[in-house]
Homo-oligomer: A and B are copies of this chain.
Amino acid sequence: MMVRYPYGKKFTTVNEAEPELVRKVNYANRGMSLESAINDTNIYYLEHDIAVVHKKPIPIQIVKVDYPHRSAAVIKEAYYQQASTTDYNGVYRGRYLDFEAKETNQKSFPLKNFHDHQIVHMRRIVHQNAISFVLIHFIAYDELYFLSANNLFSFWDRMLEGGRKSITRDEIRENGKQIQFGFMPTIDYIKIVDELIAEQGK
């Protein structure tokens, strides 16, 4: 499936019709397209001195390393580890920014996209007065939303109290802010961060 973005940018999305094995392989790359758009945005922010935000490397557990004579070390056996924090962090005007980006093919956003320890991490940084949020991409509607961590926590807690295991699109619309895709930068989340700072009078 190919979605055309403004200014002719192409977005490849996960094809759900693929066979099990291929889907498994793709799983690690799920959200790659959204990831590329965010990376482009971060490069734009970096080059224009707006903010310094990087994606953290994927944590990998290394089991076996070879050291060939006069060559670089070669990792021969390693495994992907589950990230215990969020994917992106950095600095904007002295303030600590920290966020996660998620995509869904569903009509509601399933909360199982988050792991417990990611929520724990986000609670800790919000307690430290960080600016924390999640970018949610509804593939079916091709809509992107900015949802603050505090809003995410209230839906998470509703689930823990036996409520629904997802956030509806209407709830995200009501509590979050939609981000229009742009040309440069592609996903201008700092604009929403500015609004958030202004609202909170930080």
Interface SS of A by simple majority: mixed
Q: Which of B21, B57, B75, B91 is the one whose CB lies under 8 Å from A96?
A: B91
Q: Tell whether, in the assembled complex, residue A129 and residue B91 are in contact, meaning their CB atoms are under 8 Å apart.
A: yes
Q: Which residue of B lies closest to A69 (CB)?
A: B21
Question: Which B residues are in CB contact (< 8 Å) with A93?
Answer: 128-129
Cβ < 8 Å to B, chain A residues 73-87: 73-80, 85
Q: A21 to B68, alpha carbons, bound, how many Å?
A: 10
In the complex, whether A164 has a CB less than 8 A from a CB of chain B is no
28 examples of A-B residue contacts, CB within 8 angstroms: A21-B69, A24-B73, A28-B73, A52-B124, A52-B125, A52-B128, A52-B130, A56-B56, A57-B57, A57-B60, A60-B60, A72-B80, A73-B80, A74-B77, A74-B79, A75-B77, A75-B80, A76-B76, A78-B78, A91-B98, A91-B125, A91-B130, A93-B128, A94-B95, A94-B130, A94-B202, A95-B96, A96-B96
| A residues apposed to B, CB below 8 Å | 21, 24-25, 28, 46, 49, 51-52, 54, 56-60, 62, 67, 69, 72-80, 85, 89-98, 121, 124-125, 127-130, 202
